Amino acid sequence: MSDAPDSVPNQANQPPISDAYDASKLGKLEGLEAVRKKPGMYIGGTDERALHHCVSEVLDNSVDEHLAGHCSKIEVAIHVDGSISIRDNGRGIPVDIHPQYGIPGVEMVLTTLHSGGKYGQGGYKFSGGTHGVGAKCVNAVSEWFEVEVSRNSQVHHMKFERGKTMKKLEVIGKARGTGTLITFKPDAEIFKETTVFQSSRISQRLRELAFLNSGLEILFTDERPAEPKPERYYYKDGVEEFVKQLNQGKTALHPKPVSIRKETKVKTDEKEAEVHVEVVLQYNDTYNDQVLCYTNTIHNPDGGTHLSGFRSALTRAINQFSKANNLLKDKDPQITGDDVREGLAAVISIKHSDPKFESQTKVKLLSPEVESIVGSVCYEGLMLYFETNPPVAKRIVDKALNAARAREAARKARETVRKGALSGGGLPGKLADCSERDPALGELYIVEGDSAGGSAKQGRDRRFQAILPLRGKLINTEKARLDKVLSNEEIRTLITAVGTGIGEGDEAVGGFNADKARYHKVIIMTDADVDGSHIRTLLLTFLYRQMKGLIERGYVYIAQPPLYKIKRKKREQYVDNDEQLNRILLELGSEDVVLARLADSHVFAPAQVDKIVENLAALEKLGAGVTRYGASLAEYLDAQDPATQALPRYVARIREGNKETHQFLFDEHARSKFLTQHGLNADLTEQNENGISSTAPFPPDKKPTGPIKRVTIHEIYESTEMAKLLKAIAATGLDTARFAASEAPRFTITENAGQKSENRIELRSPLEIVTTIRANGRKGLSIQRYKGLGEMNPKQLFETTMDPEKRRLLKVNIADAAKADALFTLLMGDEVPPRRQFIEDNALNVQYLDV
């Protein structure tokens, strides 16, 4: 017998006691930590789409102020350091202490989930925000987040880092008006794919908001280019102008769009909701439809109940009018929903006091009562319009009838293509297929011409890479109906190879089904010349119009052959873009050089030189945020805090006559003190988009006698990133206390050190180091502009453009269907004048032109 205590025998499937599942294994995420741990639940992911969704979340709060009648202007700016600012002249987020929670209102709405003014307390009648998680989620996924609120004649300021309060709410000055300014920088720890905002994506959303909110002025500036070009969006006629823009470059069947508006009330969940419906539509002579849906100005790309209500009403109204006026013959096919939408451009905008969405990203409206409301409003409005405008109604019916006839012809053509794929071996002979049968692993390269196709076939990895060479140029699917498109041999070959079918309709008769895709990477690989660009555009037009699901699933890519081939001595290298070329110039310039500090003859190690050059180049790039206001970058850097390397947050620009001076202000308190010193809180000051100025109209009895002094204060959003770079440079041993050029040399760079041809250059400022290194990198360098795939042999083609380890692919997405539709129509449609105008407007932006 053992003296050990009684114990239960350990069974094979019973975990040890230490691994038992008890309350100690349960956790709780406090505050905004949940958002950082699971960002996909709140902002839909961590990719580029989610990054831009953050902008929408903040922007929508400003638009809600406009919907409530308190905001007429919104300003958006992308800064050089990658941060973004959104300012409105609304009421300003409340800053008083909340009676129940004991913290300022602005802190509550930016740090506490499910808090805000959109839960029926009377703050907003219509609002895009319904869950109370928008702005605080952006705060949580931002490296830093700042808010300024102008309210009660005071400017209030708070600062956060990764959702945590770093500076409590404080008053930093006097305010002449009201409004909110939010600035944030996305956190690279969350957005690992990219933290770079796409200017085109944001500008399109801003334009869209201006269309949907007539009377709202929106200003947008991307400060990253060397010469920023501010854009202004303001549309008096709102949605009507939106629809006209959708039809730009197309021939409208009726010059004035059909506008239907109605306000109604409905009971939802035992309470009354207010619903405003606005639908504007206009037909054109193309074969594609475009219907955009919005709820409280939020785009719903997946539609929802408002879209289904509109579609059923449109089909019913057109069929009803055609029957009532005997416009259909017995032999004519039945007009379906697809037929009545051919050539339709429409915007459905509803405002709902209590909308229900599918998710936080609001891609689909679920409110069930909206379907019947929109359906009845649209049916009544359309029937009234048709009865009062019979000639237009007849043109619309004729178009729908022609679409029905073409649909029958296309169905037969699709059936022919489908049968061809199922018989006689199925796949086209020119397709060099891969051995991999899992679509998720397979890649299809669509290659321009048999010559490049031959090189691609020889150079590819046969296990997972298939090659389909296309001869000549495809039919322009923008100008042709589907039945004619399907008669094109190259198109039929492509359809068969991809395996999904095309267009809308039943899969049994060849309709599109993305699940049938034989490859999950369809890669367009064409030359970087005029013909290659044309073929690529024709292919994208076809895929966008007939296989849109492939693009929506992220299956379509464009191969990115290298842009340059550089040679220096024995080194040969392909370069993808100008940014990479600049990096290589710095790398080459750093080779065989010795950087020394003259004060103590200290020689920097090669690894240190590389770090110094890399960080100085980044500092130089961010310096555009300072120099655009006329200040000296060296003087700004010299204004740093010696202990922390922190940099001034503001630059004051003082102009008096022809004289201009600058003063750097460290923080909000320094700015407030400066304003007081210059008397800029008096009646003679005005706040405008250019800063705070003393050039407002003067009363007759107070007109100045001397030169007028004008003062503007600009915020340097890049100061945080620049301070980080200063610390990194200082860590290498380089003195960063003085950037202004000194009288005596401070550094030397010796090129070709130890050789007979060595060259010693004296430098008086740290900023001269990167300039000298870059110039050295160009010596003896041959840069060849690279154009065609045919210039490479099979091995080179694989290494540069097809090798998964080295290649660069550009994923094709539909970030903005309206813009994509307009661009395809512009470039590939029948209207020549708009295309000519586009070429004239953009000709000077072309860096390389192949003629």
> Residue 13 corresponds to which tokens in the numbers above?
């499937």
Are the C-beta atoms of 698 and 713 separated by less than 8 Å?
no
Q: What is the pLDDT of residue 328?
A: 85
Q: Specify the residue for token string 């068969």.
A: 496
CA distance linking residue 529 with residue 546, whole number of Å: 26
Choose between 402 and 529: higher pLDDT. Answer: 402
pLDDT tens sequence across 388-420: 999 999 999 999 998 888 877 777 766 666 655
Q: What is the pLDDT of residue 409?
A: 75
Are the C-beta atoms of 148 and 180 separated by less than 8 Å?
yes
Q: Is the pLDDT of residue 3 over 60?
A: no
CA distance linking residue 845 with residue 58, whole number of Å: 32
pLDDT tens sequence across 454-467: 888 999 999 999 99
> Mean pLDDT for the chain?
82
**HSE, side-chain direction, 13 A CA sphere, residue 167:** 15
Q: Specify the residue for token string 């409340």.
A: 94
> Which class for 1: exposed (0-12), middle (13-18), buried (19 or more C-beta within 10 A)?
exposed
Are the C-beta atoms of 237 and 214 separated by less than 8 Å?
yes
Average pLDDT of the segment spanning 601-608: 91
Q: What is the pLDDT of residue 617?
A: 92
Least confident of 346-355, 527-536, 735-744, 762-771: 527-536
Residue type (1 letter), 366: L
Q: Is the pLDDT of residue 528 over 80?
A: no
Q: Specify the residue for token string 């089909």.
A: 315
pLDDT tens sequence across 474-485: 777 766 767 777
Nearest to 137 by CA among 42, 53, 41, 59: 42
Q: What is the pLDDT of residue 579?
A: 78
- Residue 380 sits at φ, ψ, to 5 deg, of -65, -40
Q: What is the pLDDT of residue 425?
A: 46
pLDDT category of residue 118 using cuts at 50, 70 and 90 = very low
Residue 708 neighbours by CB under 8 Å, 6+ apart: 656, 694, 695
CA distance linking residue 319 with residue 404, whole number of Å: 12
Choose between 271 and 262: higher pLDDT. Answer: 262
pLDDT tens sequence across 506-523: 554 456 888 999 999 999
pLDDT tens sequence across 682-721: 332 344 444 444 444 444 454 555 556 788 888 999 999 9
CA distance linking residue 148 with residue 23, whole number of Å: 43
pLDDT tens sequence across 783-805: 777 666 766 788 888 888 899 98
Nearest to 614 by CA among 653, 592, 585, 656: 585
CA distance linking residue 828 with residue 822, whole number of Å: 10
CA distance linking residue 401 with residue 518, whole number of Å: 35
Q: Specify the residue for token string 């020689």.
A: 603
- Residue 744 sits at φ, ψ, to 5 deg, of -95, 150
Q: Rounded to an integer, what is the distance from CA 337 to the centroid of its chain?
A: 33
Q: What is the pLDDT of residue 417?
A: 63
CA distance linking residue 454 with residue 467, whole number of Å: 9
Which residues are annotated as catalytic? Answer: 57
> Which class for 123: exposed (0-12), middle (13-18), buried (19 or more C-beta within 10 A)?
middle
> Which class for 135: exposed (0-12), middle (13-18), buried (19 or more C-beta within 10 A)?
buried
Q: Cβ–Cβ contacts within 10 Å for residue 387, how many?
A: 12
Q: Is the pLDDT of residue 567 over 90?
A: no
Average pLDDT of the segment spanning 269-296: 89
pLDDT tens sequence across 740-753: 999 899 999 988 76
CA distance linking residue 101 with residue 115, whole number of Å: 11
pLDDT category of residue 25 using cuts at 50, 70 and 90 = very low
Average pLDDT of the segment spanning 584-604: 87
Three-class SS of 608-672: HHHHHHHHHHHHHHHCHHHHCCCCCHHHHHCCCCCCCCCCCCEEEEEEECCEEEEEEECCHHHHH
Paired strand residues for 150: 155, 179
pLDDT category of residue 844 using cuts at 50, 70 and 90 = very low
CA distance linking residue 238 with residue 236, whole number of Å: 6
Q: What is the pLDDT of residue 20?
A: 61
Paired strand residues for 268: 271
Q: Cβ–Cβ contacts within 10 Å for residue 449, how many?
A: 18
Q: What is the pLDDT of residue 134?
A: 72
- The torsion defined by the Cα of 839, 845, 848 and 851, in degrees rounded to 10, comes to 20
Paired strand residues for 23: none
Q: Specify the residue for token string 């600035």.
A: 183
Are the C-beta atoms of 42 and 360 separated by less than 8 Å?
yes
Average pLDDT of the segment spanning 339-365: 89
Torsion 478-483-487-491 (CA) sign: positive
Q: Is the pLDDT of residue 26 over 60?
A: no
pLDDT above 90: percentage of residues in the chain: 40
CA distance linking residue 798 with residue 575, whole number of Å: 15
Q: What is the pLDDT of residue 92?
A: 92
Q: Is the pLDDT of residue 229 over 70?
A: yes
pLDDT above 70: percentage of residues in the chain: 80
pLDDT category of residue 120 using cuts at 50, 70 and 90 = very low
Are the C-beta atoms of 246 and 273 separated by less than 8 Å?
no
CA distance linking residue 188 with residue 688, whole number of Å: 33
> Residue 223 corresponds to which tokens in the numbers above?
């400060």
E-only strand ranges, 406-476: 443-448, 465-470
Rg (CA), the chain: 32
SS3 411: helix
CA distance linking residue 110 with residue 133, whole number of Å: 9
Nearest to 106 by CA among 83, 141, 82, 139: 139
CA distance linking residue 76 with residue 55, whole number of Å: 10
SS3 791: helix
Q: Is the pLDDT of residue 492 over 80?
A: yes
